[in-house]
Amino acid sequence: MVHVAQPTDAGVARYVAAATVDQLARGWRVVVACPSNGRLAAELAVHGVPRLHWPATRSPGVATMGETRRLRRLINQVDPDVVHLHSAKAGLAGRLAVRGERPTLFQPHGWSWLAARGATARGALAWERFAARWTDVCVCVCEGEAAHARHRRVGTRHSVVRNGVDLANFAPAGEQARAAARDRLGIGRDVPLAVCLGRITRQKGQDVLVTAWPQVREHCPAAQLCIVGDGDLRPALRVDTQRGVRFVPPVTDPRPWYAAADVVVLPSRWEGLSLTLLEALASGCSVVVSDIPGLADAVSTGVGARVPVGDSRAVAQALARRLTDADLRAAEGHAAALAARAFDARRTYEQLAAVTVQLAQPSVGLADYPNRGPRRPPTPLRFVSRSHK
């Protein structure tokens, strides 16, 4: 099968790398089409996942048709049983390239119309409604994402395969590990610390967090905030840096930051199901998140705080309360680690494999896809059985 992705860093890239490594271990013939820059290509090379160079920009534009033609050639070259398209750009170019001629999975990882405004948002929604005819299964990473699609009448077969976290790789840190992480990161052992990891963009809402921070410091003058990542908003936010705020470049291993943090904060405006959130929960962190699908799905009462989107005052109050109450943080961190068990990545990849195999079976006929035209009969995926530990 062919996976197609334009993002080469952050959550989508990490998902594609992990899913394809799992499928390769199942004995499947797996190929990834993606740009050659960024972490995704490097991760695929380390794990021996075959890759084809597909140069693509993030946003639609004059280059999109050329990207579509090149992608069609690559897909025809591989001749896959299933095409799996990840995120908006691959979803656009891939469905234009394939047009229902092969079994197609589309995984939005957060709907494109949520990232836009005005006419652009309306156009993105209209495209998703149209492209549903070329989508056999839309894989949604949480119930909230599927609900968005149903509410907006994006008609196709939706299958919820919740994002997961590697519970063997992310676990609560003890006091010794916490102290070591803080020493390594240059943070005082007794400093109240909030951490925000992710791309610094309008989506992730770090501007709301920076606005909230002076109110946090009023209640907790020694508190520090570390914003870890890069993105288009970083230069502007650094100009407006508040006291106690530190910007840190992106990291390949976030675990020391989870170990060091008193609270992990995600003030996003929209999400799929955040891998950063799941990692923070598995690491036993108290969390403060926006009350949106993709975050609220994983944060129940007792695990952390859910606050209204864009409400800097509510963010400040939730952070200040946790930074000044060690008992509350400890209770929420314990509950978070327990909650994370419901998001075991092994279950995620088992479910994804089941959806993919079902789509590729010859018994899946045109009657299951009443809006589809003729296409070549799908053939079974090549895979071998194994025990999945």
pLDDT of the residue at 118 = 83
Fold match between 2-164+345-368 and 175-343?
yes
Q: Which residues contact 3 (CB under 8 A, 6 or more apart)?
A: 16, 19, 20, 30, 31, 32, 33, 34, 84, 86
Sheet containing 31-34: give its strands across.
Answer: 51-53, 31-34, 2-5, 83-86, 104-107, 137-140, 158-160
- Placement of tokens 């799996």 in the chain: 84
User: Helix (H, G, I), strand (E, B), or coil: what is residue 304?
Assistant: strand
Mention every residue, 6+ apart, whose C-beta is less than 8 A from residue 236: none
Looking at residue 372, what is its pLDDT?
37
Both tokens of 281, joined, read 């929960």
Delimit the domains of the chain by residue range. Answer: 2-164+345-368, 175-343
SS3 at position 68: helix
Look up the CATH number of domain 175-343. 3.40.50.2000
The reported pLDDT for the residue numbered 340 is 95
Is 314 strand, coil or helix?
Answer: helix
Q: How do the pLDDT tens digits run along the chain, 389 residues long?
A: 899 998 888 788 889 999 999 999 999 999 999 998 888 998 899 999 999 999 988 777 778 888 999 999 999 999 999 999 998 889 999 999 999 899 999 999 887 777 767 888 888 888 889 999 999 999 998 888 888 888 888 877 888 999 999 999 999 999 999 999 999 999 999 999 999 999 999 999 999 999 999 999 999 999 999 999 998 888 888 876 678 999 999 998 999 999 999 999 999 998 888 999 999 999 999 999 999 988 998 998 889 999 999 999 999 999 999 999 999 999 999 999 999 999 999 999 999 999 999 888 744 332 333 333 333 333 333 333 333 33
CATH of 2-164+345-368, one of 3.50.7.10, 3.30.450.70, 3.60.10.10, 3.40.50.2000: 3.40.50.2000
**Backbone phi and psi for residue 306, each to the nearest 5 degrees, phi listed first:** -110, 130
Rg of the chain on CA atoms, in Å: 21
Cβ neighbours, 10 Å, residue 119: 8
In this structure, the number of other CB atoms found within 10 A of the CB of residue 219 comes to 14
3-state secondary structure (DSSP) of residue 358:
helix
> Which residues are registered as beta bridge partners of 265?
288
Q: CB of 171 within 8 A of CB of 334?
A: no
